[in-house]
Structure 1
Amino acid sequence: MGDWKSQSPPEYKEVVASDYASSQSSFPDSFLATSELQVEAIGYNINQALSGSKKLENISVYSVEPGAPIQEKYTSIRLKSNSNSCALVRSSDPRQNALSSTIYRWGPGRHPRMRILPHDARVSVEQAIDDDKLCGELVDVQSRSMVSRTQVFDTSLGKFEWRYGSREERQAYNADSLLILERKDRIVLADGTKTKSSARVAQLIRNDQFRTPGSVRYSGGNGGRLVMDLRTWKDEKHTDADNVEAFFVASCILMLKREADRFIEHNIAAVA
């Protein structure tokens, strides 16, 4: 299963509060960063895509909160080199109990599935990936349309969409690439305020500051800084904010793997 436990954390010169994390707002549906993680995925460049010399293996996710030491918080573990199917575990868990799994299926039009496991589940990585009868919430990941890169996740935690940011949105965060997670369903908060549909709850920023070391601007499936707004779930009685964070991480990694597959296919097609 790889040697992810022996990997050293990425070397960042300094962990500082981001500009977007320091701006406060009284509006419950405006984005405010409450948690930041670094997703370390090297992805593919063109030569690797054409030669198949680099694979998306285990992916480490680090906590990079200002004023706190950098620590590995999650690991996405892939068991087979010929399959993208993976399971997410907490790096501090010596038993490697899975929090969720993502199952990729062969064939055109067969979308991946996510299985969100109960918070107290005692499920191995192997079970989470291979056991079809396993208890847990099964989520069919759907594309918004045949040509759209937007992915839809209809879950008990809410209905979400990961999409790519527009040019204006990328410029606002000085990002070469910006992935945005929006919550599409509306909910009533404890104070009686309703959240707005399409409220932004997370985003992955990739630029010279946050891009995974060793990757380049035009890499496919490379990691960056995952910024999340978990305020909605802090006082939620039926959902734990930690479970929501784990779902955000797993679904973000799914987007990176989908991006990597498209990158490889497009480059192979270009030289065929």
Structure 2
Amino acid sequence: MSTTIVADELHTVPSNSSLPTYSSATGIELADISPSTSSDSSPAPPAYDQTTTVTPQDTEAVPSSDGGPEPSSPGDFFTPTVHLQIETTGKQWLSLPLGTRPDPIAIYHVEAGSWSAESVPAYVSLRFSRNDGSCHLLRGDDASQTPVCTTLYRFGPGKPPIFRPSQALAPFHVPTPPASSGSSSTEVSLQEEENGHREVDVSAADLQIVSKSLTSRTQILKTPVGTFQWRYATRKERATVPGADQLLVCELVQTVALAGGKKTEENETRIAQFVRGKETRTRGTGRTTAGNGGRLMLDVMRWVDSKDGRREAVEVLVVASCVCMLKKEVDRRRMQQMVILAAGASGGA
């Protein structure tokens, strides 16, 4: 066996090489640093205000009629998660003060900013007759045509419209008492309303939408899932929504206790808005049309994780109450037309 020895190669250093030269240095003793010396020598930090508020540029506090800030604005917390297109022609100014035809009101899902009239509607509102504003709200894909909510209108002052949600919606489920031979059912069928026009019995599950005051168009709806209010937006609020000639706002009203617990205040959070403009209103209608269709936007994220079906219930109530607001616009238009005709008749006499 041969042995191989590997030796490191030695590098010789020239004898004439010299070490590098260094300059002489003088020792310097550092002075002790004390807290007082440090604070005196370092510059003072800049002065700041105690509170600094950063406001987004697209958000503006809009004063309300009572001098306080407007409850909500589209740029604050409103992020729509559901978009619906409500298609109805409403009532024109140049028309007789008669009831509109009981045409079905189709409500379509809007996806990626577009919708098709040939698609299956998400909801359909069916009126009982021309002389009756009561209607059923159905799901467009439900072959059984079971109403998810029924809106009932009663004749006479002091009788606001009634919403009768389906018992299939969990938040509105009320145990049915045992039927007796002498009691009559409170269920309202389509045939009864068309033929009998009987007085509607108000049950415990019925929800009434009432005016905030005699001179206000704001409507209040108290439900098991919260209190909602529909109101007409101010001019400044409309300016924050692109393409909105008319803007209806639906807010969730919550009562909160102030510091100390002795006083309370109401907080309004926008959960829906109904926009009508050149690109969103029903074709063939204009800015002066009453009760015409438009784009309904909902923000139901606060209920998306609920286990009792609140998200579905809120969507149904918002859609039904929005259709009710359009019905009220038509009623006001008919009243205005009657006043004009009466004034013309008295002037001609």
Q: CA deviation at 1:134?
A: 9.1
Task: Give 1:64's match in structure 2, choosing from 95, 110, 124.
Answer: 110
Amino acid at match of 1:80: S
Aligned residues: 234
Counterparts of 1:10-89 in structure 2 under 5 Å?
A: 30-48=77-95, 50=96, 52=98, 54-55=100-101, 57-66=103-112, 70=116, 71=119, 72-89=121-138
Q: Which ranges of 4 or more aligned residues in structure 1 deviate by more than 6 Å?
A: 127-131, 133-136
Distance 1:132 1:46, change over 3 A: closer
Q: Is the alpha carbon distance of 1:69 and 1:259 closer, same or farther for their aligned partners in structure 2, counting shifts above 3 Å?
A: closer
Paired residues of 1:36 and 1:228 also in contact (CA < 8 A): yes
Q: Which residue of 1 aligns with 2:336?
A: 266
> What is the root-mean-square deviation in Å for CA atoms of aligned residues?
2.6
Correspondences of 1:165-244 after superposition (within 5 Å): 165-173=233-241, 174-185=243-254, 197-244=267-314
Q: Deviations over 1:158-177 (max 9, x none)?
A: 10000000001111113111
- One-letter code aligned to 1:86: C
With normalisation by structure 2, the TM-score equals 0.62
Determine helix, strand or coil for the equivalent of 1:198: strand
Q: Which residue of 1 aligns with 2:6?
A: none
Q: In the alignment, which residue of structure 1 is the partner of 2:163?
A: 114
Letter in 1 for 2:234: S
The answer to whether the Cα contact below 8 Å between 2:272 and 2:297 also exists between their aligned partners in 1 is yes
Aligned-pair distance for 1:219?
A: 0.4
Please name the residue that 2:148 is paired with.
Answer: 99
Q: Aligned partners of 2:191 and 2:305: how far apart in 1? A: 32
The answer (yes or no) to whether the contact 1:98–1:128 under 8 Å persists in 2 is no
Larger radius of gyration: 2
Q: Is the 8 A contact 2:108 2:115 kept in 1?
A: no
Greater Cα shift, 69-78 or 215-224? 69-78
Q: What's 2:205 paired with?
A: 137
> What is the aligned partner in structure 1 of residue 64 from structure 2?
none
| TM-score normalised over the length of structure 1 | 0.78
Distance 1:202 1:63 in 2: 15
1:235 to 1:161, Cα distance in 2 relative to 1, 3 A: same
1:16-67 deviations in Å (ceiling 9; x for gaps): xxxxxxxxxxxxx71001000000010011122x253843532110011218
SS in 1 for 2:296: strand
Q: Does 1:247 align with 2:317?
A: yes
Q: Is the 8 A contact 1:100 1:128 kept in 2?
A: no
Give how far 1:237 is off: 2.6
- Larger displacement relative to structure 2 (156-165 or 68-77): 68-77
User: Contact conserved, 1:127 with 1:134, CA < 8 A, in 2?
Assistant: no
1:238 CA drift (Å): 2.6
Contact 1:104 1:113 in 2 (8 A): yes
Change (3 A) 1:47 1:95: same
- Secondary structure, counterpart of 1:204 in structure 2: strand
Structure 1: stretches of 5+ with no match in the other structure = 1-28, 188-195
Report the residue type matching 2:108 in the other structure: Y
1:160 aligns with 2:228: yes
Q: Which ranges of structure 2 fall in alignment gaps of 5 or more residues?
A: 1-75, 174-186, 257-265, 343-349
- Equivalent position SS for 1:115: strand
